[in-house]
Structure 1
Amino acid sequence: MAEFVLVAGAWLGSSAWDEVLPPLRAAGHGTHPLTLSGLADKRDVPAGQQTHVQDIVDEIEGRDLRDVVLVGHSYAGIPVGQAAERIGDRLTRVVFVDSEVPVDGGSFASGWWQGQATFEAQIAANGGYWAPLDVADFEGQDLTDEQIARLVAASTPHPGATLTEPAVLSRPLGELPTTYVKCLLDGPEPNDTVAKLLTSEHWRLVTMATGHWPMFSQPAELARVLLAEAA
């Protein structure tokens, strides 16, 4: 049986996975949804990019987890990809869910579609945090009003240092056994970095006909995808 370690994207803590966990547990797998430092109930804990990497490594090594399927959504793909390299043979597979992936020396901010300076200015203007989205920002993402309300209620400001500090990779990410889940309503194609990685024999692509937050919009289908990757 696998041990699923699940890390949600910006603004969100472990509760983001609440509706995904029951099918994984029913199939006999271990589940370890993780709240990163500086978010949700850990919002008062100072955090940088490497803090988040260490949060994930500590969860896995502290619990002596083996056969780990390490799941990262959105922003969390950046620390998850780094942590995956550091846990050695404890790792069975990485699953990136519509996520960013780490680039050695790069950050979340450096890949921002409006430019790094614009993104960093937003953070500076908000006291060093990335402000959560509001209700209107979730339109067109296959979410019901109730699901959007849950998302908004679960969100807390995201510590800016985790988004601007560089990732550190010790070997090519394409060497890791990896599945990339592309949520098609958030764009039909993976970004260029992911597309290049998908040419690796160790990577494979799965698509979902939903928006960027499938743990809210299609939790049962996301659980089915994850179970297939643990087989």
Structure 2
Amino acid sequence: MDVILIPGLWLEASSWDAILPALERAGHIAHPLTMPGTGEPAAESSSIGIADWVSAVVAEVDRLDGPVAIVGHSAGGNVAWGAVDARPDRIARVVFVDTAPPPNGSGISKFNVVDGVIPFPGWDYFDSDDVADLNETVRAQWAERARSVPEQVPVEELELHNDLRYGVPVTILSSWMDEDAYRAGMAHGGRFGEEFEAIADVEVVKLNSGHWPQFSKPLELARAIVNALR
């Protein structure tokens, strides 16, 4: 199956490199993406928002023949869900890596803007549980490879209109919550909980990792994605 891989903020297509061999051995064709405006100065990226990222994924779906799976890490999950909303008839499954299906009108988060773009804020910005399994070598490597993202992407509201998205099967790869705990949390999740409950076919798999399993546990992440696509 064709599998589109959407990175989170500050990451490029290469962030998926460590899991590609396992996907290919399982018979899948991987299509890791770098999202528009990543690493570009404000003069070239100021007009780019989340809708443009969704459009880039939709264009990749349209380029491929047959059913497609979409994997979205972190903020890439918002992009993935937007693409599912646009092409629900083409998506066989969507896999969220340590994130959740967002409701209509939601943004990602707010970050400090520097020279008209949002640079990687550094590992100290994140909760200790998110980065606990990243050693110093990995942190240094990916901090150096992190790229800025367009200012509007994290704050622009995601527009969702097609209720057929709820019929697309969903797998959520959660860093530290099993399915019971995840569902209990979503029961008090407000609009995110309502979005989650509206999905007809959803499973939650615990990864036992931090927020970046593609760096800390790539083999386990690849195995979980392959299992989700069976």
SS of 1:72's equivalent? strand
Equivalent residue letter for 1:164: V
Which contiguous aligned blocks of 4+ residues in structure 1 show a shift greater than 3 angstroms? 40-46, 135-140, 172-175, 188-191, 193-201
Compute the RMSD of aligned alpha carbons: 2.4
Give the alignment's TM-score, normalised by structure 1: 0.83
Query: 1:198, 1:102 → 2: CA distance?
Result: 8
Deviations 1:38-63 (A, max 9, x none): 1148994552111000010111212x
Equivalent residue letter for 2:17: D
SS of 1:102's equivalent? coil
Query: 2:7, 2:174 → 1: CA distance?
Result: 15
**Structure 1 unaligned blocks of 5 or more:** 110-118
Once the two structures are superposed, the pairs formed by residues 197-216 of structure 1 within 5 Å of their partners are 197-199=195-197, 200-216=199-215
Equivalent residue letter for 2:35: L
Query: 1:201, 1:88 → 2: CA distance?
Result: 13
The counterpart of 2:150, out of the listed 144, 159, 163, is 159
Matching residue of 1:59: 60
Equivalent residue letter for 2:82: Q
Aligned-pair identity in percent equals 28
Contact 1:15 1:154 in 2 (8 A): no
Give the alignment's TM-score, normalised by structure 2: 0.83
SS of 1:147's equivalent? helix
Matching residue of 1:180: 172
Equivalent residue letter for 1:168: E
After alignment, is 3-12 or 148-157 more displaced? 148-157
Going from structure 1 to structure 2, the CA distance change for 1:165 and 1:25 (only over 3 Å counts) comes to same
- Whether 2:55 is the aligned partner of 1:48: answer no
Contact 2:88 2:168 in 1 (8 A): no
- Whether 2:91 is the aligned partner of 1:105: answer no
- Deviation of the 1:100 alpha carbon: 4.7
- Equivalenced residues, count: 215
- Deviation of the 1:146 alpha carbon: 2.0
Query: 2:207, 2:30 → 1: CA distance?
Result: 22
Equivalent residue letter for 1:82: G
